[in-house]
Structure 1
Amino acid sequence: MNPDPRQLSINDFTYPLPPERIAPEPLPDRAASRLLVSRAGTISDQTFRDLPNELPAGALLIFNDTRVVRARLLARRPTGGQVELFCLEPVAPHRSLELALQQTGHCTWRCLVGNGRRWKEGPVTLDFETSDGQTATLWAERQVQEAGTALIDFRWTPAELPFAEVLRAAGHLPLPPYIARPDTAADAVRYQTVYAAAEGAVAAPTAGLHFTPEILTELRDKGFETGHVTLHVGAGTFQPVKADRMADHPMHTEPILVTAALLRQLLAHRPRPVIAVGTTSLRTLETLYWLGVGLLQQSEYRPAELLVTQWQPYEMAELAASISPEAALTALLSYLDAAGTDTLQASTRLLIAPGYQFRLVQGLITNFHQPESTLLLLVAALLGPGWQAVYEHALSHGYRFLSYGDSSLLLPS
C-alpha cells in the first residue's frame, strides 16, 4: 500500500548540506555543469552536454517558459532609510498576472516588506530611469498588514507606463534567499532560461538554466520533440516546511497556462516517454491530468474552478484508477473547444510526495534541492528510497547544489 503523504514527516527527507556546496554563482558556460544520471537506480557522472545521448529514445521534453520579473523594489523613506518591497502577487485592479503587468498608473500587490519596522505611514519612493531615458518616480504606500505580507498600493509617473516596465526599469532580480549577495548584471542573463518568454515568475525554473541554443538544436537534430508550458514560479517555492506532518503544511498556489496545441502534442506522443525539465514543468503536467479528471466528474466546470488542490490526487486516487491520461487530456481539449479558447488557464497547489502515482511524466531533469523541502519530496516520490543514494553520490562526488548548481537526469525504473 502506498503511504499517506499527509502523515509523512519532513524530517525523514533531509541530508547534510554544507554551505560551501551551495553554488553562489553560475558557471561561465551553462552547459559545462555536471549531470548526474540515475537510470533505474544505476548512477553515472556526465556533463550537461551529454544530455542528448542520455535521454530515452523517443522522449518528449517539456520546458517551463516562464520569465523571471525584477520583483524586488528598493524604495526610500522620507528620512532616507531603505525599504525592500518584494512583489508576490497582484491584488487590484487585476488578479490576473498578465493584466496586472500591463496595468498603467496604479495597482495593488501583495508584497513581502523588508526593513519596514520604521516605515510608519505615508509613501516610500523610488526614482528611476525608463528604458527610453525618461525620468520616472514610483510611490508605494502600505494599506493592510497581514501575517508576513502587506498589501502595497503603487502609483507612478509617467502614468502611461505599464507596471511591467516599472519593474524592468526599477526592480532587481529576486535571487533565492540562500544566495546572500546583491544581484548583478550577469544574473540578469544567467538567472533566466534561454527560452524564457512569459513574464511572471519571481524565481527561475532552474533546471532549464543549463540549456543552450546549441543543446536545443542538437536535441531537435537527434529527433527529440520539445514542448512548452507556463507555470509562474512563486516565492512559495522557497517556503520552508515547519509542520511536523505534511498534512499541516499549506502548499502555495501558482498559475499555469497550457495551449491546446501542447495538449494535442501530449496525446499524440503517448505512450512514448515524457521528460519534465524541472519540478515546475512536472507539477504542471501532472496537474493537467487531475484537471481532466475534474472535468470528467462535473458536467459544468466553470473557469474559476480550474484548480488542483494540495491533496486532490490522494483523495481521488480510487476514482482516478479508471481514468486514463488520454481520457483526461481529451476532456481538457473538449473543455477548451466549448469555451472557444486555445489556452488553458488554471492554478495548482499540487503537492507531490511519496505515495503519488505519476500519470504523464516518466522522467525529470532537475537540480539538487534543499533538505526538508517540498521539492525534495517530489524527487523522493519519483525515485522512491533511491533518492538518498542519488544525493549521497552527489555529495561525495563534488556536485554543486541548488539554483546555480549542477543538474541531474532522473529516470525511475
Structure 2
Amino acid sequence: MDVNLFDFDLPDDRIALRPAKPRHAARLMVVKPDATEHRQVIDLADYLTADDILVFNDTRVIPGRLFGKRGDAKVEVTLHKRVDTTVWDVFARPARKCRLGDKLDFAGLIAEVISVGDAGERRLAFEVAPDAMTDALTSHGVMPLPPYIAAQRPVDDADLEDYQTLYADRAGAVAAPTAGLHFTPELMAKLDAKGVERVFVTLHVGAGTFLPVKADDTDDHKMHAEWGEVSAETAARLNAARARGGRIVAVGTTSLRLLESATGDDGIVKPFEGDTAIFITPGYRFKAIDLLMTNFHLPKSTLFMLVSALAGLDRMQAAYKAAVDEGYRFYSYGDSSLLFPKRDKT
C-alpha cells in the first residue's frame, strides 16, 4: 500500500510533553463503527463487561540511552534489542564513529562494536559481568524518552515514574507500552468492581518503534524484531474468556502484536516465547483481539497502519482529524482511544 495513505496533518502543539495528572484523567476517544464518543480513561469500565479480559504488557523500561565517546569523538547509542545479557543491538549516532572493533566508553562502562548493520544499527558487547548489567545501565544510562519529546525538553526525575506503567515488572524495554501509562489504582479498582479479568504478557518494546517508515510502499518496510512471551497459563485464560463469550481487549499495540503472533488461524492463543516482527496493515485478519486501547500515533507510522487495519483507514483518518480539532494530546504522554473493529469478524 502507498505509505502516503497514512499521512495526516498534526500541529506540533498537539504533542504531549507531560502526562495528564492523574493519569486516568486523560481523554478517551471511543471509536465505534457507527459513532464516536468523547470520554475519559477513568470511564473505560463503562465499555467492558465481566466476561471481558484485559491484556497488559508488563515490560519495564530500562535506562537504555547512553552517551559516551570513541576516543575524543562523542557518540550516543539507544539500546533496542537484547541479544544476550551483555550483548545488545543498538542505534548509534553518529554511526560513522562506531566502526567494527571500536571501543566505546560511556563514562566508564566500556562496550565493543562487534557487528555493523544498516541505518545506524550496531551490535555492542558490554565489558561487564552478566549479573552487573542492569546496575550498569541504571548507573550510566538515562530514560529513553521518545525523540519527539526529547527534542523539546530534557529528561528529568519526573520521567522515571511517568514513563513507567503501574504494573511494570520485567525489565527489558527501551520504550514504554504507552497505553498502559494511563492506569492507576483507582482505574484498576473500577475494573475490579466491574468484574473485568486481566492478564499480563511481556513484549520488550524496542527503539525501532519510533523509526519512521521511509519506504514508499508498505511492502518494502522492514520491521525490527522484539522479544515477547505469552505464558501457558495466560493463553489458557484468554481462550477460556473467548469460550465464555468474552472479548479480548488489548491494552496497547504491543500487547496486540504479541497476541496476534501467538494465535493460530483457528483463533486459539498458544504459549509463545521468542521474537516477533509482525507488521499489520489494512487487509490483515485479526485472530486474537476484539478491542484495542491505544494512544494517538505518528503520521505514516506502522502503528497508525495497525489501527487503520483494525478500525478502517477512513474511520481512523476521520477520528484523528477530530482528535486534532478537539484538542486531544498525541503520542506517548498523550490521550487515548478505545477502538472497535470496523466490522464483525467472520
Per the TM superposition, whether the score is higher than 0.5 is yes
Q: Contact 1:174/1:203 (CA < 8 Å) preserved in 2?
A: yes
Q: 1:235 & 1:50 partners in 2: Cα distance?
A: 31
Per the alignment, in what secondary structure is the counterpart of residue 147 of structure 2? coil
Task: Choose the corresponding residue for 1:187, options 151, 156, 159.
Answer: 159
1:283 aligns with 2:263: no
Q: 2:227 & 2:125 partners in 1: Cα distance?
A: 22
Task: Give 1:297's aligned residue.
Answer: none
1:226 aligns with 2:198: yes
Task: Give 1:87's aligned residue.
Answer: 79
Pair 60,144 (structure 1): closer, same or farther in 2 beyond 3 Å: closer
1:379 aligns with 2:307: yes
Per the alignment, in what secondary structure is the counterpart of residue 31 of structure 1? helix
User: Residues 255-334 of structure 1: matches in 2 within 5 Å?
Assistant: 255-270=227-242, 271-290=245-264, 320=265, 324-325=266-267, 328-329=268-269, 332=270
Pair 153,53 (structure 1): closer, same or farther in 2 beyond 3 Å: same
Task: Give 2:146's aligned residue.
Answer: 176
Pair 252,78 (structure 1): closer, same or farther in 2 beyond 3 Å: closer
Q: 1:122 & 1:231 partners in 2: Cα distance?
A: 31
User: Residues 327-366 of structure 1: matches in 2 within 5 Å?
Assistant: 328-329=268-269, 332=270, 344-366=272-294
Task: Give 1:42's aligned residue.
Answer: 35
Q: 2:130 & 2:224 partners in 1: Cα distance?
A: 32
Task: Give 1:336's aligned residue.
Answer: none
Deviations 1:269-300 (A, max 9, x none): 1131111100111111111113xxxxxxxxxx
State the Cα distance separating 1:244 from its structure 2 match.
1.8
1:140 aligns with 2:124: no
Task: Give 2:184's aligned residue.
Answer: 212
- Which range moved further: 116-125 or 192-201? 116-125
Q: 1:239 & 1:87 partners in 2: Cα distance?
A: 13
Task: Give 1:3's aligned residue.
Answer: none
Q: Contact 1:41/1:386 (CA < 8 Å) preserved in 2?
A: no
Task: Choose the corresponding residue for 1:70, options 33, 50, 63.
Answer: 63
Instruction: List alignment gaps of at least 5 residues for structure 1.
Output: 1-7, 95-99, 101-106, 128-136, 291-319, 334-343
State the Cα distance separating 1:63 from its structure 2 match.
0.6
Q: 1:269 & 1:122 partners in 2: Cα distance?
A: 52
State the Cα distance separating 1:124 from its structure 2 match.
3.7
State the Cα distance separating 1:108 from its structure 2 match.
3.3
Pair 257,47 (structure 1): closer, same or farther in 2 beyond 3 Å: same
Task: Give 1:19's aligned residue.
Answer: 12
Instruction: List alignment gaps of at least 5 residues for structure 2.
Output: none
Aligned identity (percent) is 44
Q: 2:182 & 2:43 partners in 1: Cα distance?
A: 12
Q: 1:396 & 1:274 partners in 2: Cα distance?
A: 31
Q: Contact 2:92/2:98 (CA < 8 Å) preserved in 1?
A: no
Pair 83,345 (structure 1): closer, same or farther in 2 beyond 3 Å: same
TM-score normalised to structure 1 length: 0.76
State the Cα distance separating 1:118 from its structure 2 match.
5.5
State the Cα distance separating 1:46 from its structure 2 match.
0.9
Q: 2:102 & 2:226 partners in 1: Cα distance?
A: 32
Q: Contact 2:79/2:206 (CA < 8 Å) preserved in 1?
A: no
State the Cα distance separating 1:77 from its structure 2 match.
4.6
RMSD across aligned C-alpha pairs, in angstroms?
Answer: 2.0
Q: Which has the larger radius of gyration?
A: 1
Q: How many residues align?
A: 335
Pair 56,355 (structure 1): closer, same or farther in 2 beyond 3 Å: farther
